Structure 1
Amino acid sequence: MSPARSQPTYRTLLLASCATLVPYGAQMRRAAAQEAQANLAELSVTAEAPPAAVTGPAASAGYIGGITGIGGSLRTVEAASAGVISGAALNSRPITRPGEVLESVPGLIVTQHSGEGKANQFFLRGFNLDHGTDIAISVDGMPVNMRTHAHGQGYADLNFLIPELVGAVEFHKGPYFVRDGDFASAGSVRIDYLDKTDRNVALTAFGAFGFKRALTIASAPLGQGTLLVAGEAQTYDGPWDVPDRLAKLNGVVRYSQGTALDGFALTGMAYWAKWNATNQIPERAVADGIIGRYGTLNPTDGGDTGRFSLSGRWSRTGEAGITRANAYIIRYGMNLFNDFTYFLNDPVDGDQFRQRDNRVLGGGEVGHTFQGDLFGMPMENEIGVQTRTDSIRVGLFNTTNRRYRSTVLDDRVLEASGAFYYENRLRWTDWLRTSVGFRADTYYADVVADTAANSGKARDSIVNPKLGLVLGPWFDTELFVNYGGGFHSNDARGVTATVDPASPLFNISRSPFLVPSTGSEIGLRNRSLRGLETAVTLFQLDFASENLFQGDSGTTEPSRPTRRFGVEWTNRYAVTPWLSLEGDLTVTNARFADRDPAGSRVPEAPTTIASAGITFGEGLGWFGSMRFRYFGPRPLIEDNSVRSKPTALLNGRVGYNFDNGISLSLDILNLTNAKADQITYFYTSRLPGEAADGVADRHFHPVEPTAVRLTLAGRF
């Protein structure tokens, strides 16, 4: 290795340390991921250089902690619980479904309780986030969470994600960051796609239970820029008695010019999928031999969905600072057929229902970051605006075997929002940095319901402070203190409704439009042992109203105020340039904040989440990964008398990179063949012959048995 290459350039160190920088957004994260990922294995943190990313193997390089930098001088406030994960690290993991790549975020559980085309269910910091109620997810600057959605508030379907295109994933936990608004109280995840690939990729994969996947990614110079094209097709049946018969088509076309900080990109995406669904089933049906563990009580459940988008981003860097802008328009549609209670509501025709959601949404963001000084102290200011408008048609219909029987509701909603944010970051001394900012959001909705009494207009606004403090580093250790307010919006139909249209979605009393949250945390990050980054965080989050999953309707409903406090411990250890270890633990206490005879426990709130992993490989030759994930038991009702079982899963991967650009890898999912549950609920359902008021029972969706998948990839 030449001397010039053996020491990292200052630009490399700057990009690595800037990778978690909030104000630079997608542009800085993308630049950091692409350059730092190529150099991380060779970085060595010196006393003269700012602390940078942990070194690691090429197969998983790129977990970058919360120390950030601007312009080579001002290191800004983040949090001990924030970070960036490179695409290489994310793709080193064996996964069952696309959304599971987000389990690279420490403490985040991604699971499924239905067919593979449906949105995942998320758990983080003692939250059952349902399909995305309090975790804000974006892909390439476009929001994934859908508000006023047919199936659940904040519904975030990530099945269109192509993991091999991901350049970087930025995550935050807690409501402390000015760019994070709706649905971000527990956390936020920003996923950025690459502008180009060094080599074209052709990939094919086959596996158990009818798994087949084909993927092609190609990029080439075009004019003064680069054209990137990707296409994906996948089928999957699963182990279910009624096969999923998932069929998925996915495509991305992007044209980009310039650099990450001085350039633009235009991107088009298209996604379509259809599937059958084996939803959660009652334990008594399995115990009595009515169905098997992988059986279903309604073989006609399932759905279809489509997503088509056009987006653009632009950035410019000059003496006045950095200006960035992005805009998007998305056309989205979904049909879901679910039957959770069987014959409880209708003992003759059954309880299956169809949820329909069709919408066009558009929006964007403009931000500017500029530097200055205050009495000689380096200072930075960030200012920005965000906007989004959804034109929605949303409906709920009673069905039998997917055949229409009656309409419960068929509504049209126009929902718009705007936000303004400002943050000042100041470096007082070498060991003291502060961040002070606020975010103001305003919402408007116009609901035209088929039940006239439920039509109406609603408005609401909220202003939240965002504060941060960083002390250190002393002895390679920094102390982070963060405080902030957040919120989630509620379904606009529940805000204007005055009567119950025979749907459990609505309470007779109107729901608040915006529900505030308040969070705080104190964290410690240490890098005193070469190659090891460890962080401990104590956090608290209060919510004015918890949204809880309701099994009889498949939606979330507003509930009582809650308080959570807990501790997180995260570790990343690059043992050698080709071997890395990691381990995370989150323990949370979640309780309702008011008194009620029903009890104080928050249903589905996880107490313990843990994970561990080992990754090896560098360049050519053997590579592999082993991942362990523990999802602890949870209370299923308020008095804690019914609890779920814990779930422990082990996935593995081993492969070989040949010098001709061909690679072969073998994934073994659920390596120990654990007979565990993906998710468990407790509610009342009725099977044929049971009492009219039904039976309260655990309903579970099992983990898939051991599955093997073989992937052959070529790079040329």
Structure 2
Amino acid sequence: MLKFSKKWVQDVASWQLVALTSIPQLSHAAGIPTLQEVTVKAKANDLMGLANSASEGTVLKRQLDMRAVYRPGELLESVPGLIVTQHSGEGKANQYFLRGFNLDHGTDLRITVDGMLVNQRSHGHGQGWADTNFVIPELVSGMQYLKGPYYADQGDFSSAGAVNMGYVNKLPQGIASYGLGQQGFMRGLLANSHEVGAGQVLYAAELLTKDGPWVNKENYKKFNALLRYSQDTGPTQFNVTAMGYGGRWNATDQIPLRAVTEGLISRLDTIDPSGGGEAHRFSLSGALQHTSNYGVTRLNLYTLHTNLALFSNFTYFLDDPINGDQFSQIDKRFQSAMDLSHFWINRLGGIELENTVGVQLQNDVIDNGLLSTRHRQTLSTTRKDHINQNSIGLYFQNSIQWLEKFRTVAGVRSDYYWFDVNSHQKANSGNRFDSITNPKLSLIFGPWAKSEFYFSYGSGFHSNDARGTTATVDPKTGEPVNRVTPLVRSTGYEVGLRTAVIPSLQASFSLFRLNMDSELLFVGDAGTTEASRPSKREGFEISTFYMPTDWMIIDLDYALTRARFTDADAEGNHIPGAIKGVGKAAVSVDNIGRFYGSMQFRYFGKRALIEDNSVQSDHTMTLNGQIGYKINHNVRALLQGFNLLNTRAHAIDYYYTSRLPGEPQEGMADLHFHPIESRSFRVSLIVNY
């Protein structure tokens, strides 16, 4: 039975602030662990006695550092069952797939980086837009993932899962890295930390360019910068961080299969070469933790400004045979948020009650636009909207160790949302309010033979686009439309097992079911997400972490899900794009002399592309890897290879109607795909100082 000594408060104060603020869910079930427990659990990647479901876990910095990633968002693929891909090349937010969901750019996967929510609600391109291009991989301290709506402190967008990515407060050594590669790749990074007074100053700057293998070069250019001051000793710990990101690119959107088979374009070409985008993100954030005899209080505050302009053309000449169907989606916002929580322990009849109460506030002031364009020049305005969206989330969670082999985690969360939309079309302006309350409960039995068993239940939600909650007419056609429900409930059930019975092996298995009152579905020809029909997902996941020696780590995971709409419709009940099977294997070696390296294999299974399942995607298998050589204690050379099998498979597939020049006016229904980037290599020189 886990017990806290009288000095548990002092132990907690010794734990680095980054672990508590950036990865705040490490101890759902057992409250705040001691420093010794944290160290042991982190080294073993073992959350028995701390987790409240089989489908939550941690990813250590060592694992992340050993991954070869083509783009920063692919760090998230270290989460079992999660696939990260792209349908438009660089610059744009990734596509995410998890637990039978095509999550588009983040509809039901909640992503936080350094305590800041990445998902953007009521976004111009799609609800939940989660762009991780601002992440600097070398600064990531680790990740923690949670799946299912079982966690009281996880709110909007977390029904399928949540991933929390932390940043370090200091670096053991400075980093100067320069890399060159095929496809016009160049990257430079400078990062270091220094003691200043009682704390640390951390800084980093990154520049990157990339063209990709495409006929129409991406000409992707981005910069990243970070400056942080932190103090992580004593009863009060804090950090203050400023980040800046900017990028611009030419798009490589999905293309129609018929254009390739008929020889009109190559598989690495595009139909409209004038697509692309530009994005900026600037943030100021702070995190504070205060430990006293009354418990632990944590506070996260941040404000950020983002600006995005996308130019896309998915149907080519279907709507406008003269100028083409290119459109621009604009999103400019100021987002501010606060996350305040307090943890404490009570005793009742010899039983310890571990409690957490919290409040989360968020405000978004948004200016959206949808324009008809040609070669990025505006032809007409479809809609312009000013949105003020506010929310308050209140939650309470209680953990009790009733018996030596039985504990419970119970919680409740209430969310309140206000939507205020001022549209250039008066009929689509208005105000809406909605609220939702969701209970959570986990029963945990064990451990027996180093194995723990979990039974979890919970309901959660995702918000819909504010514009859909007040709209009465289609801004393009003028036809009447129905308003969408502001907050949509999800309900999940899960049974699972976590075991360490085999030495050096950590394994987990879970069976889950998730019901959604309304699906957020990506619409390929419109380039956005829409509220759709109710749905149900059932499946299982298995993941293993094996560390047979101190120089080798092996990660294996596989997930299989059945996803269906639950209402009756003649079109069918398959959910377009819903992932079925996914598997990954990663092997890394280090501490074997001067050489180190890793390999990552990924299987991305078939998916139904339309409701009657008559059209499916093919499966995709990829292999990435890297090998490094330690020239001396401070200098390393690294060779990375991507798509080593040089597969010609697809990164993503959609099925919808489009029209090429000379085709019938009604267009043609076809499979549209974005190919996997062809094989490429990068070499980097890394100097620590």
TM-score by length of 1: 0.91
* Match in the other structure for 2:374: 400
- Give the partner amino acid of 1:584: D
Evaluate the alpha carbon distance shift between residue 30 and residue 655 of structure 1 in structure 2; reply closer, same or farther with a 3 A threshold.
farther
Give the structure 1 partner of residue 238 of structure 2. Answer: 264
SS of 1:495 mapped into structure 2: helix
Pair 1:51–1:708, CA change in 2 (3 A): closer
Q: CA deviation at 1:50?
A: 10
Aligned AA (2:255): I
Deviation of 1:29 after TM superposition, in Å, equals: 7.7
Deviations 1:34-76 (A, max 9, x none): xxxxx9xxx9xxxxx8994486xxxxxx7x2432xxxxxxx44
Aligned-residue offset at 1:660: 2.9
State whether structure 2 residue 299 is matched by structure 1 residue 325.
Answer: yes
Aligned partners of 2:24, 2:130: CA distance in 1, in Å?
Answer: 25
Equivalent residue, structure 2, for 1:587: 560
Matching residue of 1:713 = 686
Contact 2:223 2:247 in 1 (8 A): yes
Q: Distance in 2 between matches of 1:485 and 1:26?
A: 24
Q: 2:89 aligns with which of 93, 98, 115?
A: 115
- CA shift at 1:123, angstroms? 0.1
The structural deviation recorded for 1:657 is 2.1
User: How much has 1:85 moved relative to structure 2?
Assistant: 1.1
Residue of 18, 22, 26 corresponding to 1:26? 22
Would the aligned equivalents of 1:466 and 1:485 in 2 still touch at CA under 8 Å? yes
Aligned: 1:249 with 2:223:
yes
**2:675 match:** 702
Show the 5 A alignment for 1:216-227. Answer: 216-227=190-201
Residue 572, structure 1, aligned to residue 568, structure 2: no
* Separation (CA, whole Å) in 2 of partners of 1:613 and 1:261: 39
1:501 and 1:393 map into 2 onto residues whose CA distance is 16
Q: Match of 2:575, SS?
A: coil
Q: Return the alpha-carbon distance in structure 1 between the equivalents of residues 413 and 118 of structure 2.
A: 21
Determine if contact 1:77/1:434 at 8 Å carries over to the other structure: no
Aligned to 1:469: 443
Distance (Å, rounded) in 2 between the aligned partners of 1:131 and 1:503: 26
Cα distance, 1:614–1:54 mapped onto 2, change above 3 Å: farther
The 5 A counterparts of 1:114-513 are 114-259=88-233, 262-502=236-476, 508-513=481-486
Give, as a single letter, the amino acid of the residue that structure 2 aligns with 1:521. E
Output the CA distance in 2 between the equivalents of 1:364 and 1:465: 22
Residue 70 of structure 1 corresponds to which residue in structure 2? Answer: none
**Matches of 1:270 and 1:263 in 2, distance apart?**
24
1:687 to 647, 660, 679: 660
Superposition CA RMSD, Å: 2.2
> Which residue is 2:67 aligned to?
93
Q: Which residue of 1 aligns with 2:32?
A: none
Give yes or no for contact 1:523–1:535 (8 Å, CA) kept in 2.
yes
Deviates more, 1:557-566 or 1:82-91: 82-91
Q: Distance in 1 between matches of 2:462 and 2:163?
A: 15
Greater Cα offset, 695-704 or 259-268: 259-268
Matches within 5 A, 1:54-93: 64-67=45-48, 75-93=49-67
CA offset at residue 373 of structure 1?
1.7
**Cα separation, 2, equivalents of 1:604 and 1:104:** 22
- Please say if residues 574 and 610 of structure 2, whose CA atoms lie closer than 8 Å, have aligned partners that are also in contact: yes
User: Residue type of the partner of 1:112?
Assistant: Q
Q: Distance in 1 between matches of 2:415 and 2:627?
A: 48
CA distance in structure 2 between the aligned counterparts of 1:599 and 1:144, rounded to whole angstroms: 34
The answer (yes or no) to whether the contact 1:208–1:708 under 8 Å persists in 2 is yes
The residue aligned with 1:6 is none
TM-superposed CA distance for 1:656, in Å, is: 1.5
- What's the CA shift for 1:88? 2.0
Amino acid at match of 2:47: G
> Relative to structure 2, which stretch is displaced further, 299-308 or 655-664?
655-664
Contiguous gaps of at least 5 residues in structure 2: 1-6, 28-34
**Percentage of pairs with the same residue:** 45
User: Which region of structure 1 is more displaced relative to structure 2, 652-661 or 302-311?
Assistant: 652-661
CA distance in 2, matches of 1:160, 1:612: 27
Q: Is the 8 A contact 2:18 2:166 kept in 1?
A: no
Contact preservation (8 Å) 1:76, 1:434: no
Q: Cα offset for 1:688?
A: 0.6
Does the aligned pair in 2 maintain the 1:77–1:469 contact within 8 Å? no
Closer, same or farther: CA 462–260 of 1 in aligned 2, 3 Å? farther
Aligned-partner Cα distance in 2 for 1:714–1:260: 33
What is the aligned partner in structure 2 of residue 671 from structure 1? 644
3-state secondary structure, aligned to 1:389: strand
Render the CA deviation track for 1:618-673: whole Å, top value 9, x for unaligned: 27521110110000000000000000010000111111223331111111100110
Given that 1:545 and 1:559 are in contact with CA atoms closer than 8 Å, whether structure 2 keeps it comes out as yes
One-letter amino acid of the counterpart of residue 455, structure 2 = V
Q: Which runs of 4+ in 1 moved over 6 A?
A: 18-22, 27-31
Match of 2:605 in 1: 632
Structure 2 Cα separation of the partners of residues 678 and 27 of structure 1? 30
Tell whether the 8 Å contact from 1:65 to 1:80 is kept in structure 2 after alignment: no
Name the CA distance, whole Å, in 1 between partners of 2:376 and 2:668. Answer: 25
Q: Alpha-carbon deviations, 1:669-709, whole Å to 9, x = none?
A: 00110111000000000001111110000000000111001
Aligned to 2:22, what secondary structure does the other structure show?
Answer: helix
Counterpart CA distance in 2 for 1:692 and 1:261 is 70
Are the equivalent residues in 1 in contact too, given 2:26–2:51 (CA < 8 A)?
no
Post-superposition CA distance 1:387-429 (Å, at most 9, x none): 0000000000000011110000011000000010001100011
**What is the distance in 1 between the residues matched to 2:161 and 2:17?**
14
- In structure 2, what is the equivalent of residue 649 of structure 1? 622
User: Helix, strand or coil: the match of 2:183?
Assistant: helix
Match in the other structure for 2:3: none
Q: Distance in 1 between matches of 2:562 and 2:235?
A: 42
Deviations 1:155-186 (A, max 9, x none): 00000100100012111000100110000000
**Structure 2: which amino acid aligns with 1:296?**
T
Q: Partner letter of residue 711 of structure 1?
A: S
Query: How big is the shift at 1:378?
Result: 1.7
Take 1:54 and 1:193, find their aligned partners in 2: how far apart are those partners? 16
Give the SS at the match of 1:390.
strand
Amino acid at match of 1:156: A
Structure 2 SS opposite 1:88: helix
Q: Structure 1 residues 197 and 286 mapped into 2: Cα distance closer, same or farther (>3 Å)? A: same
- Asked whether the equivalents of residues 66 and 81 of structure 1 are also in contact (C-alpha less than 8 Å), the reply is no
Task: Confirm or deny: 8 A CA contact 1:372 1:380 kept in the other structure.
Answer: yes
Q: Secondary structure at the match of 1:453?
A: helix
State the match for 1:7 in structure 2: none
Q: Which amino acid aligns with 1:415?
A: Q
1:283 and 1:260 mapped to 2: Cα distance?
61
| Counterparts in 2 of 1:426 and 1:30: CA distance versus 1, 3 Å | closer
CA contact (8 A) 1:629 1:648 kept: yes
The CA deviation at 1:261 is 6.5
For 1:514 and 1:29, how far apart are their aligned partners in 2? 24
Q: In structure 1, how many angstroms separate the alpha carbons of the residues matched to 2:433 and 2:647?
A: 49
Cα deviation code 1:314-348 (max 9, x no counterpart): 11111100001010000110000000000000011
Q: Following the alignment from structure 2 to structure 1, what is the Cα–Cα distance between the partners of residues 476 and 557?
A: 45
Q: Deviation at 1:239? A: 0.4
Q: Contact 2:399–2:409 at 8 Å: present in 1 too?
A: yes
Equivalent of residue 503 in structure 2, options 490, 512, 530: 530
Q: Do the aligned partners of residues 310 and 620 (structure 1) sit closer, same or farther apart at CA in structure 2, a change above 3 Å counting?
A: farther
Structure 1 spans left out of the alignment, 5+ residues: 1-9, 32-38, 44-48, 56-61, 68-74
- Say if 1:467 and 1:532 are closer, same or farther in 2 by CA, change over 3 A: same
Residue 590 (structure 1) shift: 0.3
Measured after TM superposition, the shift of residue 259 of structure 1 is 3.1
Contact 1:415–1:443 (CA under 8 A) maintained in structure 2: yes
Alpha-carbon deviation of 1:470? 0.7
